[in-house]
């Protein structure tokens, strides 16, 4: 399963509902929602009230990425406000195994993420316990950054581990996705691509159509 996952961190919040409707019309199925607390990452974004509000008007899959310290404190709250999947950072959890259990018990999909400097080995023992691994290819907390080339090998490493264990686990990439880096990450083994400024800058509908066509073209070549 391949998905383009637009990140509303780059959306125009004055037109958020309208832009989500545009994404739906253009065939998008996943919406990436970055929650930042100003502690784990320097920036502060938005939280439960925004998710609850847009949940009322959208049937998209809400892919909630918690860039927060001790995310286990908020799992139930984010599920109740509409998350379909919750991704936590390995670096942010006091007890990663227990946090993953909490998410699973809450009845939603489970993701684990690592920063660019964190080795894959830190989470390799947990691959069978999650539905998705999110590889950050920029420093978390800010949009519009350039893709960090050194992360490509981490994408490849995670995909190889998943295939070696014959697991049904998605590999998501977040950071610096554009026409060029899209081919890099798909070829390395990613199947879920988070896109912010790449799709939200200027004409959203046109950008999404272009990105999906580009993605389909690459997938046909590598499959």
Tokens encoding 60: 């998209």
Gap between the Cα atoms of 133 and 114, Å rounded: 8
Domain range annotation of the chain: 3-222
pLDDT confidence of residue 143: 65
**Mind telling me the catalytic residues?**
34, 174
User: Does 1.10.10.10 match the CATH number of domain 3-222?
Assistant: no
Q: Residues annotated in the binding site for substrate, as ranges?
A: 7, 65, 141-144, 174-176, 196-197
Gap between the Cα atoms of 101 and 97, Å rounded: 6
pLDDT along the chain (223 residues), means of 10: 96 96 98 94 91 96 97 96 98 96 98 97 96 95 82 98 98 96 98 96 97 97 88
CB atoms under 10 Å from CB of 205, counted, come to 13
Q: Residues annotated in the binding site for a divalent metal cation, as ranges?
A: 32, 34, 65, 174
pLDDT confidence of residue 43: 87
């Amino acid at each position: 399963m391949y998905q383009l996952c637009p990140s509303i961190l780059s959306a125009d919040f004055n037109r958020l509902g309208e832009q989500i409707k545009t994404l739906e019309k253009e065939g998008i199925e996943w919406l990436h929602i970055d929650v930042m607390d100003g502690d784990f990452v320097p920036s502060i974004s938005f939280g439960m009230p925004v998710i609850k509000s847009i949940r009322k008007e959208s049937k998209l899959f809400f892919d909630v990425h918690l860039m927060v310290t001790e995310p286990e404190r908020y799992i139930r709250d984010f599920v109740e406000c509409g998350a379909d999947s919750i991704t936590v950072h390995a670096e942010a959890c006091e007890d990663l195994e227990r946090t993953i259990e909490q998410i699973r018990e809450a009845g939603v999909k489970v993701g684990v993420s690592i920063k660019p400097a964190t080795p894959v080995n830190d989470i390799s023992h947990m691959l069978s316990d999650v539905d998705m691994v999110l590889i950050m290819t920029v420093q978390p907390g800010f949009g519009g950054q350039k893709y960090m080339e050194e992360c490509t090998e981490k994408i490849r490493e995670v995909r190889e581990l998943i295939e070696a264990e014959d697991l049904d686990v998605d590999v998501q990439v977040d950071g610096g996705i554009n026409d060029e880096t899209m081919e890099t990450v798909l070829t390395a083994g990613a199947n879920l691509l988070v896109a912010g400024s790449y799709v939200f800058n200027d004409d959203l509908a046109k950008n999404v159509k272009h990105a999906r066509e580009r993605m389909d073209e690459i997938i046909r070549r590598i499959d």
